[in-house]
Amino acid sequence: MTSGAGVFFDGVTSARHDAVVTLAASGLQIAGPDGALLAEWPYDAIEGLAAPDAVLRLGRRGNRVLERLEILDPTFAAAIDARASYVDRTGLRQRRQRTSVIGWSVAATLSLLAVGYFGVPAIAERLAPLVPAGIERKLGDAVDMQVRGTLDTRHLGAAFECGTAASEKPGRAALDKLVHRLEAAAALPSPLRTFVVRREEANAIALPGGQIYVFRGLIAKADNGDEVAGVIAHEIGHVAHRDGTKSVLEGGGLSLLFGMLLGDFVGGGAVVIAAKTVLQSSYSREVEAAADRYGAELMNKAGGNARALAVMLGKIGGATEPGMKILLDHPETKARVAAINKIAAARPGSPLLDAADWAALKKICAG
C-alpha cells in the first residue's frame, strides 16, 4: 500500500484536517483533500506516540510544533511501520529499553545495599571526629532526655540516680575514685559524667557527649571493683571512639539512603525498616568488639585486671535469650571473652578499689 487516509493536526491550531498520506521515496507526504501539500516528513524523523490500540499516531521527533498524523487503517499502519525505524508498533524497542531499565535498577539496588553496608559506616567514621564537642554535648543531652524517659519507668525523676542520699554518698565517692583512675589513664579530650541508676538489668550504656549510665543490676552481679571497672572501661571505649555520634550519623545516613531514595513505594516502609535494622545491627557487632579491646587495654594501663571484664561478660552473657542471632547486637560471648583475655596483661596490679570502697559501692543504691 502506498497511500491511505489519515487525520492531520498541524500543531498550530486545533483544527482537524482530513488528509491523504502517500509513502514517497524520501518520506511521508501529507496532502489535504484538495491536493495541497500540508507536510512532508522524512522517514527517520517519524516517531510513534501513545494512542489507543486501533490508531497509529505519528509525530516528528524533536519538533517543537506538535504536528500529529493519525492512521486508522492497520495495513497502511504496518506499511509505515516497516519504513520508519522509530515507529515501534510491535513494541520491541520499548521492551528492550524496559529490560535495560530493570537491569540497571537491580544493579542500583545492589549498589545501594553495598553502600549501606560498607559506605555508611565508613562515612560516619570520617564525619564523627568532625562533629564539634559543643554539638556532640547537645546531641548527648537530647539523647539523655529520651533515655531517661525510657529507662525511668517508675518516674522517680531525680531519685532515679543512685548516690544522692546521705547513706549513698560513700558509694558515690567510691565510684568517683574508680572512674577517676580510669579517666586519668584514658586521657580523653572532654570530661566524663557517670551515673548509677535504679535498673535491675546487669548492663551499662554510653551516650554521645561522654555520659555513662551504669545499672545497679550490674553492681549487684559483680564480685569486686575490677569487674565494674572493666565494664566502665568498655563504655569509655565507646565514648573515646565516639560511637554514639557515629550511630546517629549512620542512622541518618541509612534513613537517607533507603528512606528518601526509595520514595513513594507502597509497602516499601517495611523493607526500609528491615534493611536499617539488619544493617545497624551488623555495624554494632564490630563496634562492641572494638570497645572490648579498648576496655581491656585501658584496664591494663590503669593497673587493673582486664580479665575481670571477661568474667563479667561471662556472667551477663549467659543470661541473654537464644534467638535472632542476626539481630544480636553483641557478638558471641565466648569469642569476646577469648579476645579480651588475649589482651589482658600477664600480671595485673592491685585491685582498683580497696575493700572499704567496694563495700560502699555495693551500697550505692541502698538508700
Partner 1 sequence: MSSLEPATAASSEARLGAQFLGAQFLGVRFLGNARIYWRLLMRGAALLIVTLGIYRFWLTTDVRRFLWANTEVAGESLEYTGTPLELLLGFLIAIAILIPVYAGFFVAALDLGTLGQLSGVLAFAALGLIGQYAIYRARRYRLTRTIYRGVRFHQSGSAWRYAFCAVFWWTLTALTCGLAYPFQIASLERYKMRNTFYGDLGGSFAGSGFALFVRGFPMWLMVFAPLALTVGAFIDVVDWKALADAVEHGGGDVMSRIEGSNPGLAAVIVFAMLMAGLAASAAALLYPAFQALILRWWSSGLRFGELEMRSSLRTRHVYSAYMRFLWYAILFSIVMVVIGGSALLAVGLLAGDDKTGTGGEVVATGILLVGYVVAALGFSTIYRATVMLSLWQLGMESLQLSGLSALDRVKATGGPSSPLGEGLADALNVGGY
Could you give the string, one character per residue 291-330, with x where binding to partner 1 holds by CB under 8 A and - elsewhere?
A: -------------------------------xxxxx----
In the block, residue with C-alpha cell 495541497: 36
Residue from 24, 45, 79, 112 touching partner 1 (CB under 8 A): that is: 112
Instruction: Work out whether 184 is an interface residue with partner 1 (CB under 8 A).
Output: no
Give least dist CB 9 to partner 1, A: 3
Question: How far is residue 170's CA from residue 174's CA, in Å, rounded to a whole number?
Answer: 6
Stretch that binds partner 1, among 176-184, 239-247, 264-272, 311-319 (CB under 8 A): 264-272
Residue 51 or 159: the one with the smaller Cβ distance to partner 1 is: 51
Helix (H) or strand (E) holding 17: strand 17-23
Residue 268 or 303: the one with the smaller Cβ distance to partner 1 is: 268
Cell numbers for 213, please give them: 549510665
User: What radius of gyration, in Å, describes the C-alpha atoms of the chain?
Assistant: 36
Instruction: Work out whether 130 is an interface residue with partner 1 (CB under 8 A).
Output: no
Residues of this chain, 50-89, that bind partner 1 according to CB under 8 A: 50-55, 57, 64-68, 72-75, 78
Instruction: Work out whether 138 is an interface residue with partner 1 (CB under 8 A).
Output: yes
User: How many Cα atoms are found within 13 Å in the side-chain-facing hemisphere of 111?
Assistant: 7
Give least dist CB 95 to partner 1, A: 12
The answer to whether residues 333 and 314 touch, using CB atoms and an 8 Å cutoff, is yes
Compute φ and ψ for 178, nearest 5 degrees.
Answer: -60, -50
Residue 9 or 358: the one with the smaller Cβ distance to partner 1 is: 9
Question: How far is residue 164's CA from residue 172's CA, in Å, rounded to a whole number?
Answer: 8
Residue 271 or 355: the one with the smaller Cβ distance to partner 1 is: 271
Cell numbers for 256, please give them: 537517607
Cell numbers for 97, please give them: 529499553
Residue 248 CA: distances (Å) to CA of 82, 243, 280, 308, 326: 60, 9, 10, 31, 21
For the chain, first and last CA: distance in Å? 102
The answer to whether residues 166 and 287 touch, using CB atoms and an 8 Å cutoff, is no
Instruction: Work out whether 252 is an interface residue with partner 1 (CB under 8 A).
Output: yes
Instruction: Work out whether 12 is an interface residue with partner 1 (CB under 8 A).
Output: yes
Residue from 44, 141, 286, 354 touching partner 1 (CB under 8 A): that is: 141
Q: Which residues contact 332 (CB under 8 A, 6 or more apart)?
A: none
Helix (H) or strand (E) holding 333: helix 333-343
Stretch that binds partner 1, among 122-130, 161-169, 267-275, 312-320 (CB under 8 A): 267-275
Instruction: Work out whether 15 is an interface residue with partner 1 (CB under 8 A).
Output: yes
Could you give the string, one character per residue 83-102, with x where binding to partner 1 holds by CB under 8 A and - elsewhere?
A: ---------------x--xx
**Where along the sequence are the contacts to partner 1 (CB under 8 A)?**
5, 7, 9-16, 18, 49-55, 57, 64-68, 72-75, 78, 98, 101-102, 105-106, 108-109, 112, 135, 138-139, 141-142, 145, 252, 256, 260-268, 270-271, 274, 322-326
